Amino acid sequence: MATVYAVGVGPGDPELLTRKAERILRSVDVVLAPVSNPNEASVALGTIRELIDEDRQEIVVHQFPMTSDRARLIPAWQEAAALIAANAEAGRSVAFITIGDPLFYSTFIYLLRILREQWPQLPIEIIPGISSINAAAAEALLPLVEGDEKMVVIPATAGIEHIITALAHYETVVLLKVKPLYPEIIELLRATGREHSSVFVERVGSPRQKVLTDFSQIAAHSPDYLSLMIVK
């Protein structure tokens, strides 16, 4: 029985891969890459493409619908978990690749639960990756927290009320998935006087990276899905 690896490939810059991630990716038999839309390329796969030997390794691209409807998500999770388990039980090592870190807002979290419940005998190893938060702070030269400061991470999709509460209680607020609530977030930052202490970062680590610190530019921008904001 072979090992199942969940490999965090970082935010999109191949140079931010860890040495361990590179070693595992070069060694496995199967690489499973997630996509939300079959017409779009996998960011994770694009990040590691130069490491893969397609003559020796199998690449499988699996769609996970971009929805909160669990009736659609659960079958996709179950199908991916079964595919991983079948390969591992056949003696083929598998790497499920994910941008960022496998245990930080990652699809692999759901697969991990299924694998541990239905195939508890499978050996599983997590290879941590650099999150977009760390990469974004580095690109913006912005310290996240220091001393006794507190930080909170909120998917903006949780709702504007959660963001209001966070701004009142934390020195640093990181907002992920800002696109759906972007206009509301912009108005909230204006209302709370946070215009000059906010940074917007899009597609960090990729050729499409954008870092905005001027609030007028932030407010005028139309964000990509892979965008975040750091508010001090």
Alpha-carbon Rg for the chain, nearest whole angstrom, is 19
Residues of the chain above pLDDT 90, percent: 87
Q: pTM, whole model, 2 decimals? A: 0.91
| pLDDT confidence tier of residue 174, bands split at 50, 70 and 90 | very high
Question: Could you identify the residue written with the tokens 């003559």?
Answer: 55
Q: How many CB atoms neighbour CB 42 within 10 A?
A: 22
DSSP-assigned beta bridge partners for residue 60: 32
**Cα–Cα distance measured from residue 86 to residue 65, given in angstroms and rounded to the nearest whole number:** 22
pLDDT at 153 > cutoff 90? yes
What does the mean pLDDT of the chain come to? 95
| 229 has pLDDT over 90 | yes
Please write the tens of the pLDDT for every residue from 19-59: 999 999 999 999 999 988 777 788 999 999 999 999 999 99
* 67 pLDDT above the threshold of 80: no
DSSP string, 23-46: HHHHH-SEEEEEESSTTS--HHHH
Please name each of the domains of the chain with its CATH number: 4-127 (3.40.1010.10), 132-231 (3.30.950.10)
Angle formed by the axes of helices 182-191 and 160-169, nearest 10°: 30
Whether 212 has a pLDDT exceeding 90, the answer reads yes
pLDDT for 82 equals: 97
pLDDT greater than 80 at residue 90 = yes
pLDDT value of residue 108: 96
Dihedral angle over CA of 214, 215, 217, 219, nearest 10 = 170
As a whole number, mean pLDDT of residues 108-123 equals 97
pLDDT score, position 161 = 96
**Nearest residue to 32 via CA among 96, 115, 78:** 96
Residues 47, 225, 158, 79, CA torsion sign: negative
Region 123-151: what's the mean pLDDT?
97
Mean pLDDT in residue range 93-117: 97
- Across the strands, what pairs with 31? 59, 95
Could you tell me the two tokens for 100? 């960022």
pLDDT for 100 equals 96
Distance between CA 28 and CA 95 in Å, rounded?
7
